[in-house]
Structure 1
Amino acid sequence: MLSHKLQVRFYETDALKHVSNTVLVGWFEAAREPLFKLFTPEMDLDNWPIILASYKVDFLAQIFMGPEVEIKTGISRLGNKSCEVYQQVWQRGELCAEGRTTLVHFDYQQQKSTPLPDDVREKLQALWVEA
């Protein structure tokens, strides 16, 4: 799995003194950047080849400001035109959240999904995890 470490920032906490539930979606997206670069190494937003179709987050334990968090990212499903990204949030050695995001290879000019390129598929397969 890919790994992305970060410090919890004060503004990411809520009145209950833990990380707000809205923050994890942003963390997961930031940790998916290496996957985006598999599709478009230059991160060319004028020729962006993917679209987010769905995401789900399961909260397993509270996350607090202070200790570093680690986002782990892998691929849990690989289809013809899409893939499912499986992600975890760890803090102090504890699994605190899991997320699944479906990314679709997409042609914005034609407004339709297209098959994953073979070279990208191969790179995604290298990140396979059982989830």
Structure 2
Amino acid sequence: MSDPQDARPLPFATQEPLRFRDMDPLGHINNSVYSTLLEQNRIAFQDQPGGFREARGQSAVLATQTIDFVREMRWPGTAEVRLGIGRLGRSSIQIHQEISFEGALIARARCTQVLIDDTTRKAVPLSDEQRTMLAPWMVDAQDG
């Protein structure tokens, strides 16, 4: 399986400031903070024009998340978090992300979000409109 992050840069980026409170006793940014940085990036993607939008009565929920830690990160500074869309399923969206700091790759992450109905809490299919919204952000439509 090829890694789309090796092929080209992920197209959506945010700058996420690191906080003093993000450090662990060893002076590293605590590994639990990485999930928050990734979440902030996904929320910013959904909030910006041209990002993914749920239809009324739908929510995108996190089903899986995997983080590969490449090197440590230390306060102070600002992390760059990038995002690209991988494979689209019937009701799922595969998201590739990476965290960089001072020009160095810190972590790679993959997650799957599933679109659900707010009332039934069951998966609902992505609409053609939603697929069109995600198309410009695709990094590897064949990645699985």
TM-score normalised by the chain length of structure 1? 0.88
Which residue in the other structure is 1:95 paired with? 105
Aligned residues: 127
Cα deviations across residues 64-117 of structure 1 (Å, max 9, x unaligned)? 112321000111221111011111000111110011111011113122111101
Percent identity among equivalent residues? Answer: 28
Report the residue type matching 2:89 in the other structure.
Answer: G
Matched, 1:49 2:59: yes
Deviation at 1:20, TM superposition (A): 0.1
- Mapping 1:52-67, distance limit 5 Å: 52-67=62-77
Between the aligned partners of 1:48 and 1:13, the Cα distance in structure 2 is 36
Between the aligned partners of 1:108 and 1:49, the Cα distance in structure 2 is 6
Report the residue type matching 1:65 in the other structure.
Answer: W
Matched, 1:39 2:53: yes
Contact 1:5/1:71 (CA < 8 Å) preserved in 2? yes
Contact 1:52/1:101 (CA < 8 Å) preserved in 2? yes
TM-align CA RMSD: 1.8
TM-score normalised by the chain length of structure 2? 0.80
Specify the SS of the correspondent of 1:36. Answer: helix
Specify the SS of the correspondent of 2:108. Answer: strand
Contact 1:81/1:115 (CA < 8 Å) preserved in 2? yes
Which residue in the other structure is 2:5 paired with? none
Change in Cα spacing, 1:34 to 1:9, as seen in structure 2 (3 Å) is closer
Contact 1:57/1:99 (CA < 8 Å) preserved in 2? yes
